[in-house]
Amino acid sequence: MRIAPMTLLLALFLVACADAGDPAETVEKYIQAKVEGDAIQIRALLCSEMESVLERESRTFESVSGVSIEGMDCQQEGESSVVRCQGKIIALYGTEETEFPLVSYRVVEEDGEWRWCGEAP
């Protein structure tokens, strides 16, 4: 049967050409995982260059209550590797509410997937 090898070859070609997804969606998932302290999800979304900060990133809001994201909207800047976000993270430190504005973030494509790679300059 010659159909099976051709089908396999076509499937491999389609996988190789598959879209890496939406960089803005990756950043939004990363921010959500950071707020939730989800180390497994953060690890999956971190670029290899940032792996050394996994623990810090996953524990950022560990001792804070009432952490939420308000008005998050992220968009890739053209075809660049920068995703600009609007909105903010709100955290309650004791009785004081602190706001952390969302900024621009760098993304890189690794292993066919977009990864969060820190704040953009």
Number of folded domains in the chain?
1
Handedness of CA 64, 38, 22, 79 (dihedral sign): positive
- Give the list of residues 6+ apart from residue 73 with CB closer than 8 angstroms, or none: 85, 86, 87
In this structure, is residue 35 part of a structural domain?
yes
Per-residue pLDDT 10s for the chain (121 aa) are 454 444 333 333 333 444 579 999 999 999 999 999 999 999 999 999 999 999 999 999 998 989 999 999 999 999 999 999 999 999 998 899 999 999 999 999 999 999 999 999 8
In this structure, is residue 41 part of a structural domain?
yes
pTM: 0.81
In this structure, is residue 102 part of a structural domain?
yes
In this structure, is residue 11 part of a structural domain?
no
CATH code, domain with 50: 3.10.450.100
Tokens standing for residue 8: 């396999």
Query: What is the distance in angstroms between the CA of the first residue and the CA of the last residue of the chain?
Result: 56
In this structure, is residue 7 part of a structural domain?
no
Q: Supply the range of the domain harboring residue 105.
A: 20-111
In this structure, is residue 67 part of a structural domain?
yes
